Amino acid sequence: MVSNITTPSQGVSSLHQSLRYFPGKGQSKFCYELPATNGTTYLVRTTFRYGIYDGGSILKPTSFQLQIDTSNVALIKPDNSSIWESVIEVTMSAVAPQIYVCLAPTNPGTDVPFINAIELRELGPLMYPKARQGYMMITRYRYNFGSDHDLRHPDDKYDRLWRKYPRSNAPLSRLVSAPRGQNVAVETPYSRDEAPAAVMNTALTWPVNFIFPFNVTGGRNYVVLLWFAEMELTAQVQSRVFEVGIDENWQAPAIDILNVTKRIMYEAYEWGYGSIALSGTSTIAFRATTGSLLGPILNAMEVYEVSDPVQPRTDMQDVAAINAIKLYWPNLKTWTGDPCLALPYDWTSCSVDTDPRITMLKLDGYNLTGSIPTTTILKLPELTVLSLGNNSLNESVVPDLSALKQLQQLHLQNNNFSGVFPAWVTNLPNLQELFVEGNNFTGYVPQSLFNKTKYKFTYTPSDRLCTGSSPGNCTTTLGTPPVMPASSSMSSSTKMAIIIGTATGVLGLMLIGLIVCLWRCKRKLLHYSNSVSSRQLLKADPEAAFASSAKSQTMAYSFKEVKEATNNFQIQISEGSFGPVYKGKLSDGREVAVKRCRPCNKQGAIEFFDEVQTLARIHHRNLAALIGFCKDAQEQILLYEYLSNSDLWTHLHGDSGKHLPWSTRLSIALDVASAIEYLHTDCNPSIIHRDVQPRNILLTRNMTAKLVDFAFAKFTSEQDPTLQVYSVDVKGTAGYLDPEYAVSHHLSDKSDVYSFGVVLLELISGQEPIDKTASDRNPLLIEWTRPLLAEDDIKAVVDPSLGDKYNEDCMWKVAELGMMCVEPRPFNRPTMAEVVQELREAITLEGIAHPSLMTPLSPRSAQSSGPL
């Protein structure tokens, strides 16, 4: 239904003065189909403005989900204010000739979705590559610095909405702009996403530095894009070089605009972060470098939230069949969008495969008339339920649907079917329910329908129906339920035949059970001795190889099993460079951490197989064990053991405030050091962890530490050659990342040593590596610790919660070891083998027991995984 807003506000676009709303139908979703070109990148903008269109009759605010294609994008919850408005923008790549925009009421039949406008804008072929990597980019804001008004089309040919950045939020800033008649060139090799000239012609500059909060939802990944253009002639003589830092991480290379543009003024330069994890308190800061005579400058900025990987649409053949059914039965024409995702139609159910398949048509009571569209329904080969009861269907002969071999339930009751009973139902091998009552069938009903166990068969008794041993021997009418011959009247030969048949059946079942048992044992216990033949099979048929290869304790799981284990990826417990991590529970009761690879990180089948081989050979008591993997056409997934006692960061800094005693901290340090040493020296090829930090140190119930994400580097490739991007998310975590990387862009085993040294100092002090609240001391843990140790003031460094419950000689030894690990030059740092030896000596000084000190340590004993 269409309604006008009753209290339009001044300045509201005419496009938003009316809306369409969807009351009272009880439908799970209402969708629009926007024409698109497959593979093209689009901006989809939706506007919701309540405007009291219903006269304020909504006493309880409505609530509904905005869904685009197969993804939930935003929850819309308007208040009763006439000025309430929400504009949601998504940048995405079309995967079909149409884009679905759907509104799904939280409570169908009660909540009333509405929408004012949908705008679709085609973007350039090279713009926003993240959207072409299997993600949606949800606009959080797009700022124009230096302008006093918002801009969109015609200033921006792509109709992006650029909001003015409030000068009140930029104290000490100075406005600079291009001279009259001079536009900043935006179609340059340095500006892939083409910020418009009207935006680039103005900027703000600061004397030395400035900082402002992102104001985003924490725990997500974001794309952050920045635009600069040099417009001050003094910059040709004086230098303008500045750094950009997120959360006080200043390891990105300094920015010299004129150096990039080859000394050409008025040229746009785009710079940014291709994917970075932000918290709710994250900030971005700009500061002039030493020697720079001019302060930082900023023309424009975009911030996008990165969605979860976009799930593929329903199988194309199934969608075509559903569309044909909707055309055939006009009662269903109001249903649009994907029949399975993000919510299925009320009358469909779907599989949990990578490409969902239609498994149920539940069309009872939809006022359907005419005949069954047999040809179309037969194009849904995965149907397990076909329910057409309580309609007005009429056919003299029910068409043969026996080609639907997966069908388990066929409901045809209470229609106007007539003619011969559909005896072809006996050719459905999996059929368990057959409801045909309330029709006018005649003729032969196969006797086997009455003999099956655990089989539901309902019909209307009629003298025109009969049963018997064959259609030619239809001796029993079905005016009343049939009475089968009593067993006492059987001949001895018949009884013997039944006994022999029964015995044969039992033996057959036992044989089948034995085969299944052997197969399942083989699936669990096959070792990597067959890896050579598996690789040969991979080269010929990768998917077949994965289907047939289960490695040692590492099992191959289907995508369906993984979705069932995670309840359709319901509980996300973390996010890494490999992709999101979900909690799951296997059918045998084991809890697992499920790592689902982002589309942009996927490897070829052979490379992924090699990775699984490598990971499955890694066994160490302080490394999380690989339980299994999943590989199909669309997915690459790893399953690890799940540890429920949280991570080291939570125990050191979390809200629960658990204070770890020094003995436990020391034991954790040796656990982690032993794991890293194993990765460096005992694995072939050796593995550089690249992200040693407390969030990647998980703890068992008895506080044994296990390092996770020890191979994520091999799965990560997020650098974008079309944009100068420095991505902290890819190369470690701020505060723990080797500063040598900023110079060499190379990580080595000594980079892990540096990160571990920071963790050691964190265990000693209880301080995070960067203290954003510090105002009277150096916020960097390393630089705060160094002078205190130089003054022999170890007590000023130690976490106050430890009191005096530690051996001071041990504490000094560990503190000095930590400072050795964070030496600026890698060759001055110890190896992890030397670190492990030093920590063993420290534990001896402290007088505590540790499993690695019980027996002589060797590569073999390090790999054994004893009880935790």
In this structure, is residue 661 part of a structural domain? yes
Q: What is the band of 484 on the pLDDT scale with cuts at 50, 70, 90? A: very low
How much is the pLDDT for 13?
62
Whether 435 and 324 map to the same domain: the answer is yes
Q: What is the band of 727 on the pLDDT scale with cuts at 50, 70, 90? A: very low
Which of 458, 483, 508 is the endpoint of a domain? 483
Which of 453, 483, 513 is the endpoint of a domain? 483
Whether 637 and 774 map to the same domain: the answer is no
How much is the pLDDT for 857?
34
Q: What is the band of 613 on the pLDDT scale with cuts at 50, 70, 90? A: confident
Q: Which amino acid is at 590?
A: R
Q: What is the mean pLDDT of the chain?
A: 82
Which residues are designated catalytic? 691
How much is the pLDDT for 576?
60
Whether 683 and 798 map to the same domain: the answer is yes
Whether 189 and 81 map to the same domain: the answer is no
Rounded CA-CA distance 143/334 in Å is 39
Specify the number of domains making up the chain.
5
371-390 pLDDT, tens digit per residue, is 999 999 999 999 999 999 99
Mean local confidence (pLDDT), 25-34: 88
In this structure, is residue 60 part of a structural domain? yes
In this structure, is residue 493 part of a structural domain? no
pLDDT value at 332 more than 80:
yes
pLDDT value at 149 more than 80:
yes
pLDDT value at 725 more than 90:
no
| β strands within 202-326, DSSP E | 202-205, 209-213, 220-228, 242-246, 269-278, 283-288, 297-298, 300-306
In this structure, is residue 509 part of a structural domain? no
Report the CATH number at residue 412. Answer: 3.80.10.10
Whether 448 and 550 map to the same domain: the answer is no
pLDDT value at 50 more than 90:
no
How much is the pLDDT for 153?
95
Whether 374 and 344 map to the same domain: the answer is yes
Rounded CA-CA distance 839/622 in Å is 15
Report the CATH number at residue 39. Answer: 2.60.120.430
Whether 346 and 435 map to the same domain: the answer is yes
Lowest-confidence region among 55-59, 100-104, 175-179, 730-734 = 55-59
How much is the pLDDT for 510?
54
Q: What is the band of 421 on the pLDDT scale with cuts at 50, 70, 90? A: very high
Contacts 24+ apart (CB under 8 A), 404-409: 404/377, 404/378, 404/380, 404/428, 405/381, 405/429, 405/430, 406/359, 406/381, 406/382, 406/430, 407/383, 407/431, 408/384, 408/432, 408/433, 409/384, 409/385, 409/433
Peptide bond before residue 154 is cis, with ω within 30 degrees of 0: yes
Query: Distance of CA 312 to CAs 134, 322, 820, 835, Å?
Result: 9, 17, 50, 47
Mean local confidence (pLDDT), 611-630: 84
Domain that holds residue 278: 138-306
Rounded CA-CA distance 427/404 in Å is 9
Q: Which residue has the higher pLDDT, 734 or 199?
A: 199
Question: What is the pTM for the complete model shown?
Answer: 0.60
Mean local confidence (pLDDT), 842-853: 80
Whether 265 and 328 map to the same domain: the answer is no
In this structure, is residue 148 part of a structural domain? yes
How much is the pLDDT for 4?
54
Report the CATH number at residue 811. Answer: 1.10.510.10
574-586 pLDDT, tens digit per residue, is 766 567 888 999 9
Mean local confidence (pLDDT), 712-727: 40
In this structure, is residue 129 part of a structural domain? no
Q: Which residue has the higher pLDDT, 538 or 742?
A: 742
Whether 634 and 655 map to the same domain: the answer is no
Mean local confidence (pLDDT), 855-865: 35
In this structure, is residue 715 part of a structural domain? yes
For residue 403, the SS3 value is: coil
Which of 598, 623, 641 is the endpoint of a domain? 641
How much is the pLDDT for 585?
93
Whether 300 and 339 map to the same domain: the answer is no
Whether 630 and 682 map to the same domain: the answer is no
In this structure, is residue 566 part of a structural domain? yes
How much is the pLDDT for 353?
65
Whether 215 and 89 map to the same domain: the answer is no
pLDDT value at 744 more than 90:
no
